[in-house]
Amino acid sequence: MPATNQPRIGGLHLAAALPGAQAVGSRQVRVTGCTCDPRKVRPGDAFIAIDGPQGDDCRGVQLAAKRGAAAVVAERLLPIGATPQFLVEDARHAFGALCHALVGHPTASMPTIAVTGSLGKSAVAALASSIISHAGAQPSLSLGADTCLGSAAAAARWLADTMVSGATHAVVEASGTQLAAGALLGASLDAVCVTNLKADRGHGGQSPDAQRRQMLASLELLAPEGIAVLNADDPDCVRALAERDGPTVTFGVSPGADVSATLVERNASEQVFILHSGADSAAVRTEVIGDAHMQNCLAAAAIGLAYGADLTSIAAGIEAVRKLPNTMRPIRSGQGFPVFLDGARSPAALRGVLETAREVASGRVLCVASLNGETSLESSTVAAALSDQTYLIADNGPPRPGAPGRWFDDRFTALALALAVAEPGDCLVLAGHRADSRIEGLTEHEVVTTLLRQRGAQELQAARAA
């Protein structure tokens, strides 16, 4: 991941960018870039010693000085000769601050919204971007698959480029892992939305509790007048709300939430619900169905309200998003039963998807699911409890002992069998879908569409023969 930031020509005074730093040597140091990788130091760069050398191992800092570092930023004094040093309490925070200073502090003049949480981040970010667009602004959107949050340096450069390109707002999805890596350090966020904190497994070496703490810590990146958008139905968010003094907008079905919704109708093709905010209301019709999607819409609506959008613009922005990455995406090829692609793998996500499937099915619920080996026992137990038939595939290791269900070695075989046995009235959920996965060079949507067409052709031939 990028660990270097090169600014516009001219650079800046390091003491001005890090006003709280203690200078050892000259304070009159001008830097033209920064990096935390000693191999990438260029003459005039500030080298940030993140994590610091251990014991007497100063080779990284010495290499940086040898390559022409104008100064070293560290958490303790290092034996590196005449190179000026700037001592700080937290080198990672200093790196983030310097990355943003070098590109002109883009978040100071371009409202930037971060969306974090255990579930629904991509959907909420995409919906919020659409709402902001329908309110007359020009947002730029970065989802988890993008690389803009690979590091603080990459994030600062992307935000600067986004502002130069004419964007009025930036909306970024931020995972707990990215936040833990310091990807948004140095940014001054205009709003942070926490979708929920239902983490039931860790990521990037972090425990679920550590993930939750990191997501809530993103609120500390808010500007003084920044707005927290919190889930009133989530216990951890409610606790954070009780401790917060700054502006806050809440969403959920709980009484008192600033934005709520009432479901009017739901079937396999669409759902209709009413958005409520105070005395105002607006109807929303979406092709993406399920309680989870309705909750995502509420989170995005709360972001819209925080920016002064009216409910009519918010509803239009939601309805303009016809499909979302890995979120109950319907596959229609003339078959007599609904088929949905969804990215659900965790127990909580699977439960939400399969409960929606049960709601719209008049027959059986069939579930094909690729599950992470480490949580396969919990996830497969949910799948078995809420489905009539399961077709399971273990990723990242074998299934845990005792994991229920029928297990397959590859996803294509499971898909083909489930599609072959599905009948009119059934609902087939293809969970654990990855948008970038390919089967024989085809996307999963293309593979399923092909299999459905083959099934339709065979049924037509059989009918003619009869």
Whether residue 206 has pLDDT greater than 70: no
When pLDDT is cut at 50, 70 and 90, the band that residue 277 belongs to is: very high
Q: How far is CA 376 from CA 93, 169, 212, 354, 404, in A?
A: 37, 40, 21, 16, 9
pLDDT score, position 79: 84
User: Where in the sequence is the domain holding 275, given as residue range(s)?
Assistant: 106-319
Q: Domain with 350 in it: what CATH number? A: 3.90.190.20
> In this structure, are residues 301 and 280 in contact, taking their beta carbons and an 8 Å threshold?
no
Strand order in the sheet with 271-277: 260-266, 271-277, 280-286
For residue 290, the surrounding DSSP H or E stretch is none
Summarize pLDDT for 234-261 with one digit per residue, the tens: 998 999 889 899 999 999 988 889 999 9
Q: How many helices (H) and strands (E) does the chain have?
A: 14, 23
Whether residue 186 has pLDDT greater than 60: yes
The torsion of the CA quartet 36, 142, 203, 205, rounded to 10 degrees, works out to: 0
Whether residue 205 has pLDDT greater than 70: no
Domain-ending residue, one of 272, 296, 319: 319
Tell me which of 89-103, 286-300, 425-439 is least confident. 425-439
Domain-ending residue, one of 76, 102, 128: 102
> In this structure, are residues 46 and 36 in contact, taking their beta carbons and an 8 Å threshold?
no
Domain-ending residue, one of 102, 117, 139: 102
- 115 and 245 share a domain? yes
Q: Domain with 242 in it: what CATH number? A: 3.40.1190.10
In a domain, 324, yes or no: no
Phi-psi region of 422 (alpha: psi -120 to 50; beta: other; left: phi over 0): beta
> In this structure, are residues 344 and 352 in contact, taking their beta carbons and an 8 Å threshold?
yes
In a domain, 340, yes or no: yes
Please give the Cα distance from 139 to 112 (Å, whole number). Answer: 9
When pLDDT is cut at 50, 70 and 90, the band that residue 29 belongs to is: very high
Q: Domain with 66 in it: what CATH number? A: 3.40.1390.10
Summarize pLDDT for 67-110 with one digit per residue, the tens: 999 999 999 999 888 999 999 999 999 999 999 999 999 999 99
- 258 and 112 share a domain? yes
Domain count, the chain: 3
Whether residue 58 has pLDDT greater than 80: no
For residue 446, the Cα-to-chain-centroid distance in whole angstroms is 25
Whether residue 53 has pLDDT greater than 60: no
